[in-house]
Amino acid sequence: MATAVKQPTTKQGPTRQRKAGLASSNRSVVWLSGLACGVLAAIAPGTATVAAGLLAPGVVALRLDREPGRPVARAVLTCGLAGCVHPVTTLWNTGQSFETAIAIVTDPTTIGIAWSAAAAGWLLTQIAPLAVRVALEAVALARATRLRAARSRIAEAWGLDGASNNE
Query: Tell me: the pLDDT tens digits for 59-84?
Result: 999 999 899 989 999 999 999 999 99
For the chain, give every domain's residue range.
31-127
Query: Tell me: the pLDDT tens digits for 102-156?
Result: 999 999 999 999 999 999 999 999 999 999 999 999 999 999 999 999 999 999 9
Q: What separation in angstroms does the CA of 38 have from each of 51, 87, 110, 112?
A: 13, 21, 24, 26
pTM for the model: 0.65
Reported residue count of the chain is 167
Instruction: Compute the distance between CA of residue 130 and CA of residue 127 in angstroms, rounded to an integer.
Output: 5
Instruction: Compute the distance between CA of residue 13 and CA of residue 20 in angstroms, rounded to an integer.
Output: 11
Sequence-distant (≥ 6) Cβ neighbours of residue 161 within 8 angstroms:
155
